[in-house]
C-alpha cells in the first residue's frame, strides 16, 4: 500500500518546477521551459515504470500499461500546468496519484483485464493562450486546430509559433487517441470546502456548472496625464472600470458568478491616458439560461460604452456518467469504509470535456482543508492524498476487472 513516504518521494520531484520564489505559487504555462521540464518528468516517471509513453496530435501525454489498441482502456490522470501563481495540487495531485495507484496495484499483483493509461492533458488552465482545457478540447474536436494555432499569448506570440519554437508539430484533433479511452477517471483536489465541512477525505463528482470566458476591448487615445484636460480625454479605462462594476451587479442580480481577473492596459504608463484596455470576463452559474442572460446584458453594456465583447470559450452544463460514478463511488466506499459524498463543482476539468464528447467520465475529489484554490494557499494534507491514491487504486482495480 502506498504510504506517506511513497507519496512525498514522487510529489517532491515536482515541487520545485515552476515555483515562484516571490509568491510561493506555480507558474507552469504551456510551451515554456517549465512545461518542457514537466513533460520530461512525466515521460521519465512513466518509463521508470515500464509504461509505454506516447503523445497525441493535440499535445497530450499518455502512459500505457497494456496495449491501448487491444481494447478501449481505462484512463486516469489530470494536468500539470497551472494558473498564474497557482497552487501545487490543482492538476499534479491527479497525475502523481495516478502513477502511485498503478504502483500500488502492481505491488499487489493485480493484472488488469483492460489497458490502463495515465494521461497528462496539455494546457488545462489556458493561462497562456486563453482557452481552458486546450489539450482535451483539441483531442475531442471541440477546439478547431486552425483556431488553436492562431491563439496569441500576452506578448503576441501565436501558439503555432510557440510550437515550432519548441520543435513540436502543429496540433490537430486525434480521434485515434480518443478511441483508446474507454473511460476516464480524474482525481483532483477539491476546490471548495464540501469535504472539509463533512469531515470526509474523498468524494465523487456529480457535475460541472456551465461556464465561459469572454474578451473585452475598450479603445481610447493615449495622451499626457498632466496636460490633457479631463473633458478632452478619451480614456479606455473608464469603459472597463464601468464594466467590472456592471459585471458584479449583473452577477448578483442573475444569481451567477462573474470574475474580471485579467487586464492588459496599453500603453501601461502611470502618466499616460490608457489607449486600449483588453480584459477578460469569466462567468459561471448553475443555470445555462442565467449565465447567458447575464452575458447578454453585459454585452449590451459593453456596446453602449463603445467596447467590444467576444466569447473565447464556452462549456455547457456537464453531468458525469451516472453508472460509472456509481461504480467509482462503490469502489471508494469499499476501500475507505467511509461515506463518499457526491459533490458538484464550479471548476472546469478535462474530465468534463471528455464527458461532453461522449466518453464515460467520472471524478474523485480529495479534501482541501480551506477550500482555497487557484492560489499558493491551496492545500491538501498528505494523509488525505494517500487516501486518494488508495481510493483511485480501488477504482482502477474495480473498473479493469
Cell representation of residue 220? 481610447
Per partner kind, with CB cut-offs from 5 to 8 A, the member of ligand GLV, Mn ion, none near residue 247 is none
By C-beta, is 90 or 190 nearer to Mn ion? Answer: 90
Partner whose footprint covers residue 348, from ligand GLV, Mn ion, none (CB < 5 to 8 Å by kind): ligand GLV
β-pairing, 307-315 vs 52-55, is unpaired
Secondary structure element (H or E) that encloses residue 207, with its range: strand 202-208
Strands (E), 91-198: 116-121, 181-189
* Window 64 to 123, contacts with Mn ion (CB under 5 A): 90-91
Whichever of 281 and 347 has its CB closer to ligand GLV, that residue is 347
Cβ neighbors of 94 (< 8 A, separation 6 or more) are: 76, 77, 78, 79, 186, 187, 188
Count of residues near ligand GLV by CB under 6 A: 4
Q: Which does 298 bind (CB under 5 to 8 A by kind): Mn ion, ligand GLV, none?
A: none
Q: How far apart are CA 132 and CA 248, in angstroms?
A: 22
Nearer to Mn ion, 90 or 207 (CB): 90
Residue 291 sits in the site that holds ligand GLV (CB under 6 A): no
Q: Which is nearer to Mn ion, 91 or 307 (CB)?
A: 91
In the bound state with ligand GLV, the residue whose beta carbon lies nearer, of 125 and 397, is 125
DSSP 255-309: T-EEEEEEEEEES--TTB--SEEEEEEEEE-S-HHHHHHHHHHHHHHHHHTTEEE
Nearer to Mn ion (CB atom), residue 72 or residue 84: 84
- By the 8 A CB rule, do 355 and 321 touch? yes
Q: Applying CB under 6 A, which of residues 31, 76, 132, 205 lies at the interface with ligand GLV? A: 132
Report the candidate in 200, 171, 183 with the shortest Cα–Cα distance to residue 339.
200
Which of the choices Mn ion, ligand GLV, none does residue 91 contact, using the CB cut-off of 5 to 8 A by kind? Mn ion
Residue 29: helix, strand or coil by DSSP?
coil
Nearest distance, CB of residue 79 and Mn ion, angstroms: 6
Show contacts with ligand GLV in window 326-385 (CB under 6 A).
347-348
Q: How far is the CB of 284 from Mn ion (least distance, A)?
A: 13
3-state per-residue secondary structure call for 308-323: EEEEEEEECCEECCHH
Which residues lie near Mn ion (CB under 5 A)?
90-91
Which residues lie near ligand GLV (CB under 6 A)?
125, 132, 347-348
Amino acid at each position: 500500500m502506498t504510504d506517506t513516504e511513497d507519496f512525498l518521494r514522487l510529489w517532491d520531484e515536482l515541487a520545485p518546477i515552476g515555483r515562484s520564489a516571490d509568491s510561493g505559487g506555480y507558474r507552469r504555462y504551456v510551451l515554456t521551459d517549465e512545461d518542457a521540464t514537466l513533460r520530461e518528468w512525466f515521460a521519465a516517471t512513466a518509463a521508470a515504470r515500464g509504461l509505454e509513453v506516447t503523445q497525441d496530435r493535440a499535445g497530450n501525454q499518455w502512459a500505457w500499461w497494456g496495449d491501448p489498441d487491444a481494447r478501449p482502456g481505462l484512463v486516469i490522470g489530470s494536468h500539470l500546468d497551472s494558473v498564474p501563481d497557482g497552487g501545487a495540487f490543482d492538476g499534479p495531485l491527479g497525475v502523481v496519484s495516478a502513477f502511485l495507484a498503478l504502483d500500488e496495484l502492481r505491488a499487489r499483483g493485480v493484472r488488469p483485464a483492460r489497458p490502463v493509461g495515465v494521461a497528462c492533458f496539455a494546457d488545462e488552465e489556458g493561462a497562456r493562450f486563453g482557452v481552458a482545457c486546450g489539450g482535451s478540447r483539441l483531442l475531442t474536436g471541440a477546439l478547431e486546430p486552425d483556431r488553436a494555432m492562431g491563439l496569441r499569448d500576452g506578448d503576441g506570440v501565436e501558439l503555432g509559433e510557440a510550437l515550432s519554437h519548441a520543435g513540436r508539430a502543429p496540433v490537430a484533433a486525434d480521434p485515434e487517441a480518443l478511441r483508446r479511452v474507454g473511460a476516464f477517471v480524474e482525481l483532483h483536489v477539491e476546490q471548495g470546502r464540501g469535504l472539509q465541512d463533512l469531515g470526509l477525505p474523498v468524494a465523487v463528482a456529480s457535475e460541472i456548472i456551465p461556464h465561459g470566458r469572454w474578451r473585452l476591448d475598450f479603445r481610447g487615445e493615449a495622451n499626457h496625464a498632466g496636460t490633457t484636460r479631463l473633458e478632452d480625454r478619451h480614456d479606455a479605462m473608464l469603459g472597463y472600470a464601468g464594466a467590472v462594476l456592471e459585471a458584479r451587479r449583473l452577477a448578483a442580480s442573475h444569481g451567477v458568478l462573474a470574475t474580471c481577473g485579467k487586464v492588459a492596459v496599453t500603453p501601461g504608463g502611470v502618466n499616460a491616458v490608457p489607449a486600449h484596455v483588453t480584459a477578460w470576463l469569466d462567468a459561471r452559474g448553475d443555470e445555462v439560461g442565467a449565465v447567458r442572460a447575464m452575458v447578454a446584458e453585459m454585452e449590451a453594456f459593453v456596446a453602449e460604452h463603445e467596447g467590444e465583447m467576444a466569447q473565447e470559450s464556452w462549456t455547457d452544463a456537464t453531468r458525469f456518467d451516472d453508472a460509472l460514478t456509481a461504480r467509482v463511488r462503490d469502489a471508494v466506499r469499499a476501500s475507505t469504509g467511509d461515506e463518499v459524498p457526491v459533490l458538484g463543482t464550479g471548476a472546469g476539468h478535462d474530465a468534463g470535456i471528455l464527458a461532453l464528447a461522449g466518453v464515460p467520465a467520472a471524478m474523485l475529489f480529495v479534501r482541501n482543508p480551506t477550500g482555497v484554490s487557484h492560489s499558493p494557499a491551496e492545500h491538501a494534507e498528505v494523509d488525505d492524498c494517500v487516501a486518494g491514491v488508495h481510493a483511485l487504486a480501488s477504482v482502477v482495480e474495480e473498473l479493469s476487472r
